Structure formats: structure tokens, C-alpha cells
């Protein structure tokens, strides 16, 4: 088995991934290898309270399946994306009233033709792992992690949200910024859920099913 190369998608400068073709998948992509840097930044980092209040869907879920492919995101560049099917275990907020059982979450980065493009702030989910996810819709195709930081890994009953890269100073600064903005990490799961529930979430307004209502493209 060929060992995957590792490319880091940092969060400071944008160089871009210049490859050719459109909508290639990890199964059949035989073009140029991916190289470069991807940026995921926001002008204003929302604190934890705002992230929760401004996001319509918050769930606990398990990753069932992932697929990565190259997609065109502009006239000159193409980008790797990973789409993950998430089985819903718990719903903590659903202001759209969709009551989903399975959703698809889109992330920049992922394995393409033996190369793993790692987005340090929001790396591709691992099959079988469980997360609490704070989600927002994106282009009607899939959900996205809010500001790429609304993802919290569950491990042995505890919740984690930390930035990890090869640069310890960058990690320390980023983790300190998250802490200053109220982001909990390395806390018991129930404590984390209670913090979400304490933020005075709006009461969901369920949408009654209708025979001719078209299902949302975000849901399976």
C-alpha cells in the first residue's frame, strides 16, 4: 500500500491548489498531485455563545461514511472537499424543524489519490468517531461546521476542541483565543451539553410533513 503524503492546509496565507478537471473523486482521480495552502478565516470570530445562537442545527452524531473529491471553486483553482455522512444520535437544537436522522457535512481538505490534504482547523472526520457539531447550511448541498470551529470530538465521555499543528506557538495562541471566547474543551459531555442548553436556545418550530413537500437536499 502506498503511504499517503501529508500536506498541511494552514490558516494564515492562501496559495491555492491548482489542478485540472472537475468533480474528480478519490477513487478515479489520476491528475496532478495536490499542493499548496488553503485558508479558512473569518473577519470576526464568534464567541461560543454567538456560535450556538447563530447556528440552526446542533447535534451529536457518528461518522458513517466519507468521500473526498476535487471540486471547482473559482475560475483558476480547484479544491479538495470531503463529504461525511453523519448518523444523528442526539439533537440539541433544530430551529428548521427538519428532525434529521442522517446529514451530510462538507469540509475543505481530505485524501485524494494518496495525498492527504489536512485542514488543521477543521480536519476531515474519521469514520466511526463521534462528535458534537454546531452546523450551518451551505449552498443547499450539505451542512458545514460553523466557522470551522463548531466541532467537538467525543472521547471516553469527554469533549475536546483544540487546534493541533506542527507549530506549537500557533496552537497555543489559537487555543488561548478559543478559551478567551468561551469555548469549552476537555470537559465532561454532560457539562458541555448543559452549557449549550443554558444559552437560552430558541424553541424549535417543527415543520409538519406534507405529501408533496420536497425533502431538503441537506438530509438523507
**Calpha distance 162→124 (Å, rounded):** 14
pLDDT at 100: 78
pLDDT at 56: 92
Residues of the chain with pLDDT under 50: 1-43, 205-220
pLDDT at 193: 95
Are 61 and 135 in contact, with CB atoms under 8 Å apart? Answer: no
pLDDT at 190: 96
pTM of the model: 0.71
Are 69 and 24 in contact, with CB atoms under 8 Å apart? Answer: yes
Amino acid at each position: 500500500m502506498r503511504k499517503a503524503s501529508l500536506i498541511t492546509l494552514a490558516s494564515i496565507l492562501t496559495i491555492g491548489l491548482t489542478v485540472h478537471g472537475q468533480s474528480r473523486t478519490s477513487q478515479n482521480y489520476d491528475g496532478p498531485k495536490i499542493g499548496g495552502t488553503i485558508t479558512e478565516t473569518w473577519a470576526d470570530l464568534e464567541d461560543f455563545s454567538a456560535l450556538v445562537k447563530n447556528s440552526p442545527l446542533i447535534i451529536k452524531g457518528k461518522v458513517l461514511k466519507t468521500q473526498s473529491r476535487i471540486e471547482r471553486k473559482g475560475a483558476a483553482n480547484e479544491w479538495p472537499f470531503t463529504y461525511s455522512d453523519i448518523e444523528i444520535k442526539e439533537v440539541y437544537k433544530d430551529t428548521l424543524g427538519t428532525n434529521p436522522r442522517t446529514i451530510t457535512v462538507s469540509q475543505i481538505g481530505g485524501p485524494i489519490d494518496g495525498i492527504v490534504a489536512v485542514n488543521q482547523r477543521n480536519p476531515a472526520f474519521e469514520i466511526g468517531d463521534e462528535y458534537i457539531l454546531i452546523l450551518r447550511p451551505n449552498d443547499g448541498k450539505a451542512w458545514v461546521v460553523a466557522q470551522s470551529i463548531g466541532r467537538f470530538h467525543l472521547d471516553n465521555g469527554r469533549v475536546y476542541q483544540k487546534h493541533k499543528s506542527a507549530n506549537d506557538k500557533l496552537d497555543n495562541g489559537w487555543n488561548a483565543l478559543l478559551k478567551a471566547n468561551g469555548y469549552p474543551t476537555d470537559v465532561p459531555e454532560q457539562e458541555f451539553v448543559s452549557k449549550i442548553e443554558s444559552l437560552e436556545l430558541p424553541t424549535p418550530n417543527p415543520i409538519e410533513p406534507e405529501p408533496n413537500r420536497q425533502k431538503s437536499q441537506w438530509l438523507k
